Amino acid sequence: MASLHVMLMALVLCGITLDQSRVEAKFSKSMYINWGSQHCSISGNGEDVQLVLDQVSGSGVQSKRAFLFGSIEMLIKLVPGNSAGTVTAYYVSSTGSRHDEIDFEFLGNVSGQPYIIHTNIYTQGNGSREQQFYPWFDPTAAYHNYTIHWNPTEVVWYIDGLPIRVFRNYESKGIAFPNKQGMRVYSSLWNADNWATRGGLVKIDWSSAPFRAGLRNFRARACKWNGPVSITQCAATSPANWWTAPTYSQLSFAKLGQMKWVRDNYMIYNYCNDTKRFNSQMPPECSKSQY
């Protein structure tokens, strides 16, 4: 058992070393400020964004294009200090009441207490699939790589190259999967003190404002959405559609080991274990293998 633990730790450290700062792109070419323009800035070189929240407004950016399948990466440095009541969001989403969405949300906390990394997925407007984690690092001290990868087989959430969660395609079993709607990329910093910290019990301390989160080097290695024709084009198996290669249809043994380490040590909530919430009528995907 000791040797297995050492091997898993080595794999984890390898993932961090290889993937933490791999993203390379410019916000100015691929994203724009969609909210709180007076509270958000894109640096002169176009590679960095600063999101700001104060009592007047929060702020946000979104991608110029929508995508279907591929890999979306961003380096993020979260609000330091007393961030209670704030949420930094990073997600992909379509629009409308039956939208698809894949989320990272970072729930702030009082000084000295850990952030909560909140993940969720919506399919055809239905969410309630939350899984939450404590970070195994200080997300305010440096930039970290957060990646959303999805293809016709699965959705995977990564942090610094370590997978933390998988949602597999069981559409053939009647479980909806995000494979028919193009999704844009969004990131924002906003006031969520009605729910974000201890269920809304802890409010924002505005004496600590303005709150600032940093974004760096957005990269989308993904299929561009060109309307309904993309449903088949982006899912077609071809060298150009690298995300359809067999190697991306399931996590490798090494990646499974990394994910097990994260989930065994840092997961704090899994909707599939919350029988009281669902009155024992669990969502159907909870009985399916996700890995």
Residues that are catalytic: 101, 105
CA atoms within 13 A on the CB side of 197: 22
Residue with structure tokens 């449903």?
Answer: 231
Asked if 148 and 98 count as a contact pair (C-beta separation under 8 A), the reply is no
Give the chain's end-to-end CA distance (angstroms, integer): 22
Asked if 61 and 32 count as a contact pair (C-beta separation under 8 A), the reply is yes
DSSP string covering 182-202: -EEEEEEEEE-TTTTTGGGTS
Asked if 132 and 196 count as a contact pair (C-beta separation under 8 A), the reply is no
Which residues share a beta bridge with 33?
61
CA 38 to chain centre: 26
* Strand intervals (E) in the chain: 31-35, 40-42, 48-53, 59-77, 86-93, 101-107, 116-122, 131-133, 144-150, 154-159, 162-168, 183-191, 211-224, 267-270
Give the span between the Cα atoms of 38 and 48, in whole angstroms: 16
Tokens of 90: 């990073």
In the chain, alpha helices (H): 2-19, 27-30, 230-233, 253-266
Give the span between the Cα atoms of 169 and 171, in whole angstroms: 6
